[in-house]
Structure formats: structure tokens, C-alpha cells
Amino acid sequence: MDVVDVAPEQACPIAPVVDIVFSRWTTPILWALHTYGRHRFVELERRITTITPKVLTDRLRQLERDGLVVRTYHPEVPPRVEYEISELGRGLAPLFAALADWSVNLGEVEQARQEYDAKERPRGRRTR
């Protein structure tokens, strides 16, 4: 198959992984469940303080659908639901560890941004 014959979405083999794992709230949820273990909904909500209950519900459902999170319903009074990272989700641990290691470079990223923003832009031309 020629490179020309490859659909753009298939040209990069990690693009689907990035779409699944790095959507807005997926990473903090998976990190919390991997690092701190099983959580009830309210516990996750307290740990990830900037997420809304609706978004947390939606993300947990999607993660369960993707096989990255396991939801366990306990039929007691009152009912109890717990979430934990699945074996499939645990397989992402080396990726998260590598990203955590790379985070030492964030100071350089911030410096590069400041230098870029400080440059005078030519008038009349739009930059992207």
C-alpha cells in the first residue's frame, strides 16, 4: 500500500490511542484510580475537584465502555457503586510514567512560550 492510499486518520498509529486516553478528563480519572485504587463516585469527585458531576459520569461511562475502568454495583441499602482501573487500563502505567518523567521539561516549555510570545510579530500578517 502506498502512503498516498492511507487514510489520514490511519497515517499515525498512535492517533486512536491519543483520542481514547488523552481526552480532557480521562487522564486525571485513570491516574487517580491507578494511583489511589478503587473509588466511589463522590471520592473521585473530591479528588478531581474541577470536574463537574455530569462530566465525571459521562467520562466514567466512556472509560467503562472502552474497557479501561470497571464499575462494580453493590446491591445493598443504600446501593454502593465503585470504580477501579481495569487490567487494560493498568497497561497504560508505563505511558503515564514516561509522561511524568518528561514533565521535568515543563519549565523549558514555559520559557519557550514566553520567548515566543515576546517576539514582535509583523503587522498585517496573521500567525497561527
What confidence score (pLDDT) does residue 2 get? 52
How far from 95 is each of 19, 21, 63, 72, 76, CA to CA, in Å?
A: 14, 10, 17, 26, 37
Tell me the mean pLDDT in the region 19-26. Answer: 86
Tell me the mean pLDDT in the region 73-96. Answer: 94
Q: What is the pTM of this model?
A: 0.76
How far from 50 is each of 45, 46, 64, 100, 127, CA to CA, in Å?
A: 8, 9, 21, 21, 32
Tell me the mean pLDDT in the region 94-104. Answer: 92
User: Binning pLDDT at 50, 70 and 90, where does residue 3 land?
Assistant: low
What confidence score (pLDDT) does residue 24 get? 85
What confidence score (pLDDT) does residue 1 get? 47
What confidence score (pLDDT) does residue 7 get? 72
Tell me the mean pLDDT in the region 67-80. Answer: 94
